[in-house]
């Protein structure tokens, strides 16, 4: 399978890339890791007339703590998260996910920014970013704007990134003491998309009361989904097995999975309940031990 013909540019600076993007409009697509876009182009599901390869632009790949945030440059490869000391120590949720995102070769090229900008509810990072209450930095020739993750996903393959804009950074608020996070997805085999997945970040005070919680779900809705009612059920309460069970039940009721090759909608709701429950327990355990 070979993509339809296209023109190809490798701008050396972000400004050059943004200028090109503005000139070419809808005809152009940004090439980051390419592991969603190139397969789509090979299948002719996408046929952009022009690819703007941003791999040669310096300064878009970093993982750093700054101003109360963990900042991840859009071109940071999935493998970089996996191997980062900061991530290993403070954000175990990414380590949970790293094994489950595609496979090592894909993680060598696939980027965190691309994973989110693709706007696919089947990807893993979107649900994680929902749980972590991330913010997305979007850059255009006019400057930067910051979009909360809850306002980022518009619909199937559609995000807040507009014409002439590039997603350049993801910011995650530094969690308070006593915070734990966890992610898991059910997959048919290594490298597959999730049947369903659940990402949880929970903060506990000294008495075991849940002061903050984020729950994101993978591949059970048209967009990456926040389990609002589950969060509400837990926030401000002392966590117990019963309460967690109830919260997990709400996630299963609120998600909107479809019947497909990965299972029936009912089956997926069962998986959502089980995973949400397990991940709340796991995140809470990590919060206690943090």
Q: Where are the alpha helices (DSSP H) in 187-240?
A: 228-234
How far apart CA 126 and CA 131 sit, in angstroms, is 9
Tokens representing 235?
A: 């926030």
Is residue 109 involved in binding another protein (CB under 8 A)? Answer: yes
Number of residues that bind another protein (CB under 8 A): 30
Q: For 105-186, list the strands marked E by DSSP.
A: 135-140, 143-148, 153-155, 158-159, 166-173, 179-186
Q: How far is the CB of 190 from another protein (least distance, A)?
A: 4
By CB under 8 A, tell whether 38 contacts another protein.
yes
Taking the C-alpha atoms of residue 166 and residue 175, their distance in angstroms, rounded to an integer, is 27
**Residue 6 within binding range of another protein, rule CB under 8 A:** yes
Integer CA distances (angstroms), 65 to 71, 78, 195, in order = 6, 18, 33
Letters for 237-276 (x = contact with another protein by CB under 8 A, - = none) are ----------------------------------------
Q: Does the footprint of another protein cover residue 95 (CB under 8 A)? A: no
Phi and psi for 169 in degrees, rounded to 5? -155, 150
Q: Do 144 and 168 contact (CB within 8 A), yes or no?
A: yes
Give the one residue of 150, 191, 238, 266 binding another protein; rule: CB under 8 A.
191
Q: Rounded to the nearest whole angstrom, what is the least distance from the CB of residue 282 to another protein in the complex? A: 19
Q: Please report whether residue 35 would count as binding another protein according to CB under 8 A.
A: yes
Cβ-based nearer residue to another protein, 41 or 239? 41
List interacting residues with another protein (CB under 8 A).
1-8, 10, 31, 34-35, 38-39, 41-42, 51, 53, 55, 79, 99, 102-106, 108-109, 190-191
């Amino acid at each position: 399978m070979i993509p339809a013909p296209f023109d190809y540019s490798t701008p050396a600076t972000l400004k050059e890339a943004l200028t090109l993007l503005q000139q070419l409009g809808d005809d152009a697509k940004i090439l980051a890791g390419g592991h969603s876009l190139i397969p789509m182009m090979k299948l002719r599901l996408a046929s952009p007339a022009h690819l703007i390869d941003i791999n040669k632009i310096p300064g878009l790949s970093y993982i750093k703590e700054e101003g109360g945030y963990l900042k991840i440059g859009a071109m940071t490869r999935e493998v970089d998260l996996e191997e980062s000391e900061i991530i290993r120590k403070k954000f175990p949720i990414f380590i949970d996910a790293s094994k489950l995102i595609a496979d090592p070769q894909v993680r060598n090229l696939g980027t965190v920014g691309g994973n989110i900008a693709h706007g696919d509810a089947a990807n893993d990072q979107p649900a994680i970013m929902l749980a972590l209450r991330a913010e997305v930095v979007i850059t255009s020739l006019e400057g930067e704007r910051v979009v909360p993750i809850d306002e980022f996903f518009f619909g199937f393959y559609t995000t807040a990134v507009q014409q002439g804009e590039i997603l350049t950074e993801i910011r995650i608020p530094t969690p308070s003491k006593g915070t734990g996070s966890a992610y898991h997805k059910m997959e048919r085999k290594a490298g597959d998309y999730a049947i369903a997945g659940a990402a949880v970040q929970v903060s506990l005070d000294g008495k075991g009361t849940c002061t903050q919680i984020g729950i994101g779900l993978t591949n059970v809705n048209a967009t990456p989904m926040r389990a609002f009612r589950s969060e509400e059920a837990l926030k401000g309460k002392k966590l117990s097995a019963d309460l967690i069970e109830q919260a997990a039940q709400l996630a299963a009721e609120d998600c909107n999975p479809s019947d497909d090759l990965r299972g029936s909608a009912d089956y997926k709701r069962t998986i959502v309940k089980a995973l949400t429950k397990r991940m709340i327990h796991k995140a809470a355990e990590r919060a206690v031990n943090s």
